[in-house]
Amino acid sequence: MVWQPINLDQACPGSTNLTACSSFGYVYLDLLVRLFGQTSGKRRPPETEEEREFDFIVVGAGSAGCVVANRLSAVGNWKVLLLEAGDEQPLVTTVPSLAISLLQSSVDWAYQTEPNGKSCLARPGQRCSWPRGKTMGGSSSINSLAYVRGNELDYDTWAANGNTGWSYKEVLPYFIKSEKNLNIAGLNREYHGVGGEQYVSRYPYVDRPSIMMTEAFNERGVPIGDFNGENQLSTMQSQTFSCGGQRVSTNRAFIEPVRDRRPNLLVRTNAEVHKILINENKQAYGVVYKRNCKWHTAYAKKEVIISAGAINSPKLLMLSGIGPKYHLDELGIEVVKDLAVGENLHDHVTFNGIIVALPNATSTKVSNDQLLKELFAYKLSRRKRGPLAANGPTNSIAFIRTEAALPAPDVQFQVDSVTWQEYIRQPTLYESLTIFPSAFYNALLPRTMNLVPKSRGKLLLNPKNPRGAPLLYANYFDDPTDLIPLVKGVKFLLTLENTKAFKRLGAYFVKKPLKACKNYIWGTDDYIVYLARSYTTSTYHPVGTCKMGPKWDKKAVVDPQLRVYGVSGLRVIDSSIMPCAPRGNTNAPSIMIGERGVAFVLNYWLKKYS
């Protein structure tokens, strides 16, 4: 199947002058499909008759699932089935600067949140977009590629709350186990690995505005350092999940190298699992999935492992009768186990609208002709070195504490790119049509993220179509104190305008209120609050819906070894188990959870038969 980008005919309104909706936008997307629409891996041979019995079934080939399937299939006498609802990973996902072009395309589940009257107010229907990867590699194939682990306090807090085995000292070896760091020089080897499967490196191309942001943060007192090392309170051009200017998803790192070499590993794409089979003894023994319009059943002799992510894992559990009794009763689903599945949903809330404009001399914006030339140059080059081999300013990251007494950072800055004249006229429409490479821009959009949100939402099955997209109640700003770190963070951000780094490049803040905030004075606390409530956006870090916790935790769905309470032979191993989101991007922690979780599985079954 060929990758399909966003449909401009449906997305573009009749009256707009955005470049994305011009004839050039159509030409550009057509070229993307022609150059990068095919799958990135080997051409798969014709499939033989479906096998039905396995030792392990892994549902979801995402950030954690690919790790789990790799480690289990390394045991030669175990048969492992890996099921992925999406298709094979297309080549377009490997181009760092095209990451933003993947949103609302055929590799995105394109979920949306439900309105709560307190956030996303300027967006259509007061709903925020929640992209999630629907392809081999999952969200590791469509995210912004930043390699960020979080703070050691996050994991120590997990352990302190009864999750034995999850302290920072205990999870650090699993971060290191996967890591193949190509830029280890200058990093503390106690925190990093070079022998794993997951490539981690710096981009071969960094533009001047990106460096400007790091230098400006540094001038304002944020030390330059490795925020994945001893001190997270630092800034740098983040390392990325890449190698030689190309994305390395967990699919490319953990599955593609072994897929054709391990006859005991069977991978099935376009296979959406709709039910976990559970017998009268409350033991999981298989799954039912739909593939190519046909229903299939597969059986697991040892375990079924759910790694479908923070949205699809709880959805599958509830479809299988594991979830809140009141909700399952409403839908007529037989209750197997009454658990708080779907609760504890949270995300690092942020917002858009603070704009740093660049004069023509320092803008990276190029003509349409030059943009097309860059696409061809990247495609034809054996060594990916140009601007498309990076992700614009997205890896300009800094962590700060908004109060000196805080034990760890509560705010993260991460920077997007825009053409500000178009953005400021129609911000929500512009954000829904981000089809062009992130490398070419004339303004920066630094986003202030709340790393310690108190608001909690929930996920429910849609009563109109339980097997369809679930109802996502992000519940942003339900606790109004979540706005405090954002206001303080933006106040810090605005001081960057006075740094030498900004002045050298002539960068300045666009001090014009966005449309939804026109009744407020730009830069005031009230303006920032209303900007956050109006132009709320996800950081794409949803977690917590299958919460890990000790037996006495009434909200816990899985125990500290990730076994689902009350159902044997069933584990959840992905970001949904996080009791609380770590301070930072969630892809690296999800890979770690894959490593840590599968280690529990290996230890149990190998010890049982040793």
Catalytic residue, chosen from 327, 346, 348, 541, is: 541
Q: Whole-angstrom distance between the N-terminal and C-terminal Cα of the chain?
A: 44
Decide if 130 contacts 111 (C-beta within 8 A).
yes
Question: Do the beta carbons of residue 401 and residue 410 sit within 8 Å?
Answer: yes
CA distances from 501 to 208, 213, 215, 235, 507 (A): 10, 8, 6, 14, 9
Whole-number Å distance between alpha carbons of 546 and 317: 9
**Beta-strand pair 356-357/396-400:** unpaired
Residue 430's closest CA among 4, 208, 103? 103
Instruction: Give CA–CA dist 476/479, Å, rounded.
Output: 8
Within a 10 A sphere around the Cβ of 281, how many other Cβ atoms? 9
Q: Quote the strand ranges of 113-237, DSSP E.
A: 129-130, 179-181, 198-200, 235-237
Tokens for 566, please give them. 């009350």
Structure tokens at 121: 């107010």
Helix (H, G, I), strand (E, B) or coil at 462: coil
Q: Any binding-site annotation on 567?
A: no
Burial group, residue 23, by CB count within 10 angstroms (0-12, 13-18, 19+): exposed
Strands 396-400 and 411-418, how do they pair? antiparallel
Cβ-based neighbour number of residue 402 at 10 Å: 18
Cα–Cα distance, 135 to 112 (Å, whole number) = 18
Torsion angle of the four alpha carbons 92, 95, 100, 105, in this order, in degrees rounded to the nearest 10:
10
Q: Establish whether 296 is a catalytic residue.
A: no
For the annotated binding site for FAD, the residues are 273
Residues annotated catalytic, as ranges? 541
